[in-house]
């Protein structure tokens, strides 16, 4: 019991991982980033949003899950999950947002330009993204003055997982 108590006391906060439209909570990208977060002393949460493709329903699910959370909170979202994370950021008063190929400026989303604070907001986007053009991320990053990493890769960024982990580890160091 003493060891368990010590682990809880050293946790830095909570990170919610928000998967994309066609993936799930156990995807390889978010699983790898989750391992980085756990190794760095964060608690992690992976909600399952696969029951709906409606971004507003996913947003409400995240807001409900985070209601009353008092620990420092980070949001990590991929694609549609990036839009959800960005849209939830101000409402939840999060410490930071890490977006992977976020669905900003994408037709069918209720708010084309979610408001996030530039400090502690980073975006990673693939040059060869065939789903969400990298230009959307450039426009969003410029408007919000946040860090943007354009990397060789497609929408899934599967070949970039080691690089994503390195960037995420550096990002977490800034959030402490």
| Inter-residue contact 94 to 73 (CB < 8 Å) | yes
Residue 138's pLDDT is 97
The dihedral built from the CA positions of residue 153, 154, 160 and 164, taken in this order, carries a sign that is: positive
The tokens for 97 are 């947002």
Q: Which residue in 110, 100, 102 sits closest to 151, CA to CA?
A: 100
Query: CA-CA distance, 68 to 149, in Å (whole number)?
Result: 32
Query: CA-CA distance, 176 to 124, in Å (whole number)?
Result: 20
Burial class (CB in 10 A: 0-12, 13-18, 19+), 167: buried
Phi, psi for residue 70 in degrees, rounded to 5: -105, -15
Query: CA-CA distance, 62 to 157, in Å (whole number)?
Result: 24
Residue 10's pLDDT is 53
Per residue of the chain (176 residues), what is the pLDDT tens digit? 444 434 444 579 999 999 999 888 888 899 999 999 999 999 999 999 999 999 999 999 999 999 999 999 999 999 999 999 999 998 999 999 999 999 999 988 988 888 887 679 999 999 999 999 999 999 999 999 999 999 999 999 999 999 999 999 999 999 98
Residue 6's pLDDT is 41
Q: What CATH number was assigned to the domain covering residues 2-175?
A: 3.40.50.1820
- Domain locations along the chain: 2-175
Residue 140's pLDDT is 95
């Amino acid at each position: 019991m003493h060891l368990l108590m010590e682990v809880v006391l050293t946790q830095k906060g909570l990170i919610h991982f928000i998967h994309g439209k066609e993936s799930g909570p156990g995807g390889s990208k978010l699983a790898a980033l989750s391992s980085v977060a756990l190794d760095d002393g964060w608690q992690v949460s992976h909600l399952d949003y696969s029951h709906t493709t409606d971004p507003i329903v996913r947003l409400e699910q995240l807001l409900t899950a985070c209601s009353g959370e008092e620990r420092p909170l980070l949001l990590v979202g991929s694609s549609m999950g990036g839009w959800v994370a960005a849209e939830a950021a101000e409402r939840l008063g999060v410490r930071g947002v890490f977006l992977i190929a976020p669905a900003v400026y994408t037709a069918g989303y209720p708010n084309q330009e979610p408001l996030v604070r530039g400090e502690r907001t980073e975006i990673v986007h693939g040059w060869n993204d065939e789903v969400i053009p990298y230009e959307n991320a450039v426009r969003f990053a410029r408007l919000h003055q946040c860090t943007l990493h354009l990397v060789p890769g497609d929408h899934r960024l599967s070949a970039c997982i080691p690089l994503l982990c390195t960037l995420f580890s550096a990002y977490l160091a800034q959030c402490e």
